[in-house]
Amino acid sequence: MSVPLRQSQRHAQLVCELNEAAHRYYVLDRPTISDAEYDRLFRELQALETGNPDLRSTDSPTQRVGAPAREGFETVAHQKAMLSLDNAMNESELADFHGQVVRYLEHNLESFAIEYTVEDKFDGVAVSLTYIDGVLVRGATRGDGTNGELITENLRTIRSIPLRLQNLESSSNAQIEIRGEVLIRKSDFAKLNLERAEAGEELFANPRNAAAGSLRQLDSAITASRALTFFAYGIGVAQGYELPETQLATMRWIAARGFQVAPSLQLVTGLGEAAPELCAAFNRFAAARADLPYEVDGMVVKVNSLALQSELGFRQRSPRWAIAAKFPAVEEHTKLLDIKVQIGRTGALTPVAILQPVKVGGVIVSRATLHNQDEIKRKDLRIGDTVVVRRQGDVIPAIVAAIVDMRSGAERIFEFPSHCPVCGAAAVRENAEDAAVRCPNRDCPEQVAQRVLHYSGRKAADIDGLGSKLVALLIEHRLLSDLASIYELKISQLAELPRMGELSANNLVAAIDATRRLPLHRFVFGLGIRHVGERTARLLANESLSIESFLQLNPERLSAIHEVGPETTQEVLRVLCDPTERAAIGRLLAQGLIIQPVEVAAAGEQPLSGKSFVLTGTLVSMTRDQVQAKIIELGGQVSSSVSKRTNYLVAGTEAGSKLEKAQKLGVAILGENEFLALIGG
């Protein structure tokens, strides 16, 4: 089914914006936008991918949880994925969640009562704590949900985390993973920022970022100096323990082992389509929010029965048995001081609102994306307007509307530039369905900069030290003009640049030289082709096997690749058939790059060729992404649903409803050891 071009381009824009927002929030600890807009964009992205599955890619924020581990800490794999929760934005959506739970369990909505636990949704940092024989041996951040940062020594400094569990009743070599949230209370946050202000240091934007910044200190003494606290919210994995059969009893069991749990934890009953008790609890929690000693941004709802939790299972990204009911948006008024236009690597002109800084729910907001010129016209925004800025948490801010009654007459209508503000080329809208206006000049300095930054990013060439400021400096001094010129940089040239020096020049050239050998899929991703994310790049590489074959891809071969839709095909062919684009790739390859071919058993003899797989549950030795990548590498296909055409279901622990369906259809079921044997260990 063909995906409309406008939807495809909107998807690419959403993926880019949401990933950048997550990077600034989770990695840099310097949020610039709020949850309100983030939630709206994320739900828009989910709706696009639900209606157009071909758009879904591994670089989409819907396929991942949280953010990658930061440099400076060892990365550790979680034994069981730390998933995020879906959101309910109001009472109606909370009632819908209850209805979905009952219908999934195939009971009558009007007569089947379900108990739920409800508790505050802390605005902190999710971590896991592993205890062996009752002693804390490992602590890690959630990271991307599969891998986190190993921060054991920092977590040991938090006094509310027991170093040894209390009231143990376990066998020898017992292991348990306690999961919860590290946060800082409002009063301690205010004291910390006062101390930083007096010391002339940069202030933390909000308590959540203060907690995150404190945990990510390489010197644990700094972490110890911060007044962090920990609240447990559940158990990840457990071996050698007899655990309760309900969520509430589990939380009481955790509390008896020496942990803080949410004081608000309580039971409510869901019954009927409107679920009045559940909605009443939501309103109580929202009303009490301002008086709490810590920041919360919602209420967490979980099915109380662990047996029902197991029956409900998981979606790819979240459990079916829990939801985060988000509190109403926080809004403030501020001035729209200006609108600036930024240029992306594909030439898209994106307007950004420059706001008079305003504190919205704990975050200082000074900028907000306006997406495109149509969005500005639709909201009738004018420079100088007093505008409503909304948050629903602490991620992305949005301008909701201008307050027309407060206009003085001095406001100015923003004229979207007809030419690129960087290079002066006439901007174009490629077709009527395209919301983006683009700079057509491929040599535009800002486009060059963004392409270089994309190519040098972690998922592509991963060139250490080639950041945005240095790229801008290199372009200014005419040392960078395209991707190929990265490999032409000389130590003597670099050493003469301001604030560079010979040592830094040597380090950068060494880092660049280290990337002259690249796997095919990373090279393809680094080219920055529209709609080609990390997963699609791997699919293209697995079809091509070599760089020579990739450059010869044609419509027939592209259309045969599972998950590569028509818009992606169109963009790949546009690049491969355009003489300018081909010449740019040719110049890059001429720098002596070795593009490593995809290793397979033999052409036409891949061991999983023609086999269809479905994945469910959690494996110990491999993540879901690793399993999927291995299957594709060996010639197989991965589907999201079980059907008569499925050859194998790979079932890990806590397998969901797919296992039952596979059993009914007679699909071969592989446990972890059987799957490892199938792929050769």
Q: Is 678 helix (H, G, I), strand (E, B) or coil?
A: helix
Residue 197 and residue 203 in contact, taking contact as beta carbons nearer than 8 Å: yes
CA atoms within 13 A on the CB side of 657: 16
> 60 is written with which tokens?
């989409």
Length of the chain as a residue count: 681
Catalytic residue check, 658 = no
Cα(65)–Cα(49) distance, rounded to whole angstroms? 17
Q: N- to C-terminal Cα distance for the chain?
A: 37
User: Helix, strand, or coil here: 569?
Assistant: helix
Strands 87-88, 296-303: pairing kind: unpaired
Q: How many CB atoms lie within 10 A of CB 424?
A: 11
d(CA 598, CA 109): 52
Q: 430 vs 266, 372, 436, CA distance in Å?
A: 55, 14, 8
Contact in structure between 97 and 113 (CB atoms under 8 Å): no
Q: Round to whole Å and give the CA distance between 129 and 144.
A: 16
Integer Cα distance of 469 and 446 in angstroms: 12
Element (H, E) at 41: helix 35-51
Cα 490–Cα 496–Cα 500 angle in degrees, nearest 5: 90
Catalytic residue among 121, 302, 630, 658: 121
In eight-state DSSP terms, residue 76 is E
CA 438 to CA 227: how far, in whole Å? 49
Q: Are 530 and 571 within 8 A, CB to CB? A: yes
The Cα diameter of the chain in Å comes to 78
- Give the DSSP H/E element, type plus range, for residue 391: strand 386-391
Q: Which residues of 608-630 are buried (b: 16+ CB within 10 A; e: fewer)?
A: beebbbbbbbbbeebbbeebbbb
Burial of 432 (C-beta count, 10 Å sphere; 0-12/13-18/19+)? exposed
Residue 296 phi, psi (nearest 5): -130, 150
Q: Which residues of 54-76 are buried (b: 16+ CB within 10 A; e: fewer)?
A: bbbbbbbbbbbbbbbbbeebebb
Residue type, 678: L
Structure tokens at 317: 């990204």
- Closest by CA to 129, choosing from 248, 257, 225, 298, is 257
Q: Is 462 helix (H, G, I), strand (E, B) or coil?
A: coil
Residue 48 neighbours by CB under 8 Å, 6+ apart: 7, 10, 11, 14, 55
Task: Give the SS3 label for residue 92.
Answer: helix
Token readout for 670 is 């592989």
Q: Which residues are catalytic?
A: 121
